Structure formats: C-alpha cells, structure tokens
Amino acid sequence: MLLSIRHHLRYAYDRPVFLEPMTLRLTPKQDCSQQLLVHSLRLDAAPAGSSAIQAADGSGALVCWFLEERDQLEITMEARVRTLRPNPFDWIITFAAAQRLPARYPAAEAAALAAYLDRPLGIGPGAGDGPGAGSVAAWAAGLAVAVEHDTAAFLIELADRIHHDFQHVGRFEGEPMAPEQTLAGRSGACRDTAMLFVAACRSQGLAARFVSGYSIHHPPEVTEHELHAWAEVYLSGAGWRGYDPSLGLAVADGHLVLATAPDHRLAAAVTGTYRGTGVTSTMTYALSVRALEADADQTP
C-alpha cells in the first residue's frame, strides 16, 4: 500500500524562550515492512545546527539545536511510504519454547532482547507498586489459560479483549497511565492500551515494545487522523510483529512506523524542553494520512 503523510506541528510560547536541543523522530523507518520513498522535514526557521542520527532501535531521527530565543517553532514532515506486509500472519515460531506461555527465547536472543523483557515501564504513579501491583500479570495469566497457553492465540486474544472490553478515549496530553490503572479503569487512550499490551506480554515472557506512528484506520476514540500508538512483540522466527489493541487487530500494511522503543519516551515523535521562567506553551497540529494508488506519482 502506498501512503502519503503530511504532519504539521506548531509550538507557541507566550514570550520568547531558549529551546534546548530537540530530537525529531519524524522519519518513517525503513525495514522489511515499509519502504521510505520520499521524505522532507522542515522547520520554519533554520536551527543553529542539526544532525541526522540512527537511534538505538535503528529508527532515523534528527537532532536540532538552537542559539536564538524564539516564540514559536513550526515543524512540517511530508512523506510517501510503501508498506509491504499485506498479511500479518505470514510467520512461524521456530523455537519450541516460544510457542507456549510463559515463553522462553534462545539464550542469544534473550540477551539481545533484555530491554524489552525486563525493563520497568517507568510510567505514571503506581506502576508496579501499590494495591494494583500484579494485577496485569494475573489478568494476562488468565488469558493465557483461556487460550491453552498458545502464544499466537494469546496475542490475538489480548488485542481483542482490550479492543472490545475497554472504553477507548481521546486524551491529548500527558504520559501513558500505568498499565495497572488502565486495567482497573478498563479505559484509556491508544498509548495507555499499548503500554498495557506491552506489560501483559512481558509478564508472559514475551519481549514487547512501544510503537509510535500513523494508521489509515481510525481508532474508535477519534474522528480524524492522530499520531497513533500500538505495540510490537518479538517472536523467534518471525521477528517483531505489530498488534494494535485500540483496533483489536494484528498490524498489516495499514500502519506506518515512526519509532519503536522499550517504552514511550524514546518513541515520542518530538522530544525537547525550553527555558523560560513562568512561560506557558501550546501545541497545535494538523495531520493527513492518505492511501494512494500503487502507481501514483512519488512526490509529496
């Protein structure tokens, strides 16, 4: 599928501020599931300097730094990307101990996946402690029993349960809630349910990570395109495979990945801070995601 994306962001400050170095994760990934054909990333005023980098997970990013005060910053990303995975189930698990839950990986893979297996999610108060501690693991264990500990069936069941049993809401600010909080309230935005999916998978021995990007499908909580979040799980023999609990599906060619990370912080589209005592800021955005004909012109 050929997708066209235009993402415009505007940060406004009520008086000039100093912008600290900023990381822009607005370059779609290139891998076996998607091909970046055209890409441009523009700032309304040139920074003092910038450097294209490869992040820890292999995603492309742009680090910018600034010398002059400014009262606004506008960022525009345009891209055309061909997604390459029409069938999300074109895989097998090649390591027997990963076919059943709780899953295990070969030693070399387990070492490489350590950050996605054991790393604390580090979000919101109450994550991993307090009265809700262990609730996600117990819930996931019940789902594993329901599917007779079959790994592939568990992943679909987990995405389907979150999609059908939870209230999906639009929450435009703030970090993801702790997975225990999302589970207890049976409610959350896409980033909340993505983190719940990640935590449930890890409790069953599955390496999982947070994904930010775009989807041509509208999650039930929004009426227009938004930056979207879902999860990926690593399966021996299949590699990283996406699951979208907001939509209740295995990810195919209707999703486009910007960045992936053990938790949301290193997968944020834009990361940065500013210096200015008592200054308030606002962010506005406009996002367009369109599916094009396969032989369409390849200029934004």
Residue-wise pLDDT tens digits, 174-196: 789 999 999 999 999 999 999 99
Minimum mean pLDDT range among 35-44, 115-124, 202-211, 269-278: 115-124
pLDDT at 217 (0 to 100): 86
pLDDT at 124 (0 to 100): 45
Give the chain's radius of gyration (CA, Å): 20
pLDDT at 198 (0 to 100): 97
Residue 91 predicted with pLDDT over 80: yes
Rounded to the nearest 5 degrees, what angle is found at the Cα of 288, between the Cα atoms of 61 and 47? 35
Minimum mean pLDDT range among 166-180, 248-262, 273-287: 166-180
Q: How many Å apart are CA 163 and CA 24, to the nearest integer?
A: 30
Domains of the chain (ranges, CATH numbers): 2-84+268-292 (2.60.40.2250), 96-252 (3.10.620.30)
pLDDT at 296 (0 to 100): 46
Buried b (16+ CB within 10 A) or exposed e, 168-191: bbeeeeeebbbbbbbbeeebbbbb
pLDDT at 50 (0 to 100): 96
Q: What is the pLDDT of residues 2-47, one digit of tens each?
A: 999 999 999 999 999 999 999 999 999 999 999 999 999 999 988 9
23 closest CA partner among 57, 56, 50, 58: 50
pLDDT at 291 (0 to 100): 92
Q: How many Å apart are CA 55 and CA 76, to the nearest integer?
A: 20
Residue 52 predicted with pLDDT over 60: yes
139: helix, strand or coil: helix
Strands 208-215 and 228-235: antiparallel
- H/E stretch holding 109 reads helix 107-112
Is 121 or 252 the better-scoring residue by pLDDT?
Answer: 252
Burial of 270 from C-beta contacts in 10 A (0-12 / 13-18 / 19+):
middle
